[in-house]
Amino acid sequence: MSFINRIKNLFRKGGAMLGMVNQLTNITDDERISIPSEEYERIRVAKQYYRDDFGMVRYKNSYGQELTRELSSVNVTKMAAHRLASIVFNEQCVITVKDEPTNGFISDVLADNDFYNLYEEKLEEAIALGGGAIRPYVQDDKIKFAWISADQFYPLHSNTNEIDEAAIASQTAVTEDNQPTYYTLLEFHQWNDDHSYQITNELYRSQNINQVGVQVPLDSLDEYAGLQPEVTLTGLTKPLFAYFKTPGMNNKRTDSPLGLGLVDNSRKIVDAINQTHDQFVWEVRMGQRKVAVPAEMLRPPVQFGGDKEKASRSPMFDKDTNVFVQMYGDPDGMKITDLTTPIRNDQYEASMDFFLSEFENSIGLSQGTFTNTPSGIQTATEVVSNNSMTYQTRSSYLTQTEKQLNNLVIAVLELAECGELFSDGKARFTGDPEQQDINIEFADGVFTDKNTQFDQDSKAVSLGIMPKKRFIMRNFGLDEGQAEEWLSELKDEQPEMSFNSFEGNSGPEGDGAD
């Protein structure tokens, strides 16, 4: 950092103390943000569980010495979030728009952001922490996606129905004068009284990671040098971000629009799972075979003479063996004694199954997802067929996921309408984003047997209650344009009489006769 910049920072610190420059300890201290800081402390704890970060366990050994060791935990938060994300969304999902040019544009944007591969990963984190957002932005005349985690997203109003204004935080750590320095960019998305959309960028600097710090110019950090402090966009009807909230009521704070993570109502159960597993691992370690032998038998050989390779006696046991314990006393009265204690694996297995079963119930997964059943660990298909809880939970998550994806497509189209954001000043989309027919086909995976679906859909076509085009799209994974090409080729290949008869018998508009 240059001498001039150091002087400027000193003046800013002095101005902050006098109230002339904005200074924040926590992001929630900003008067525009109405969410209490306790909500983000809750998210911090959920993130700690998701990372499987529990610090060190303190314990005392047999001599009363206090020692530390890592907790032998099971990251069930990660396991459950991954399972839920994988059954809700995968790369087989298809997002389409009925209007063909718009559909091509959206497909290009999604492909350019590797969306179908990344979304499942980001959804996993959002499920674990309670929420997350996607913010499209323009870079080098292309629309890119910024993935916002739960601890970076700050609603500006406590409206539990919709979030249409928010602050997004991004922290960058750099080294200045051999000291770590933290820059936090706050990006405020707000609606003005004239219905224009305003984005305000503010940069804060601190040398304490636990404080946001003092507001500084945007060009204090090179990566934000070209960023405008304020941008106003007109003609928008939806915010330029799409928020995902986990389903269910936030019972920790009923007036909060934020969702709950997997551990927020399961923390005690997860702790019990980890403690049980840790105790079992420790018992396995302590239960290794131990044999007590007279101390004389473990006395090291005595070296004598100039030949260091010779000894007065040979060792009676392998020197690398760690299962022998010295016993002092009369060597003649001592004998080799087995001190090994049995490992209570059956009791620990039953305890683990009990707590895992509670965890499955708590987060809405079917029995047998993580626990043993009489037939062993169940497959995903068996879980679904034996218990519909996972299916019902998936349906709730699908509702929220579909809402976010719809809002994302609308946000992309809203952004594409703003020609001033592109170098040539031309909009990439014209029209009403909210009037677009957006279709999201989630891959049902284990929840739908493809052969059964094909047979049922075939009967629906025969009864005239399902269009042939939808049948082709649903069962062969084609988009609307490809399905229409299939129908056109089919019509050309078959005799006209036969094709018309087929149409009359299978469509709601046909009368079944020529």
Residue pLDDT, tens place only, 400-459? 999 999 999 999 999 999 999 999 999 999 989 989 999 998 876 555 556 667 888 888
Residue ranges in 58-152 assigned as alpha helix (H) = 76-88, 100-112, 115-129
Residue 70, CA atoms < 13 Å, CB-side half-sphere? 5
* Maximal C-alpha separation, the chain: 117
**Residue scoring higher pLDDT (239 or 61):** 239
Length in residues, the chain: 514
Q: Which residues pair with 373 in a beta bridge?
A: 376
Q: Spell out the residues 6+ positions from residue 289 whose beta carbon is closer than 8 angstroms to its own.
A: 323, 338, 340
pTM over 0.85: no
Q: Which two tokens stand for residue 247?
A: 């389903």
Of residues 277 and 340, more confidence is placed in 277
Lookup: tokens for 238: 């939806």
pLDDT surpassing 70 at residue 325: no
The DSSP string of 377-415 is SPPHHHHHHH-SHHHHHHHHHHHHHHHHHHHHHHHHHHH
Residue 318 confidence (pLDDT) above 80: no
Q: Which residues does residue 232 pair with via DSSP β-bridges, in sequence order? A: 198
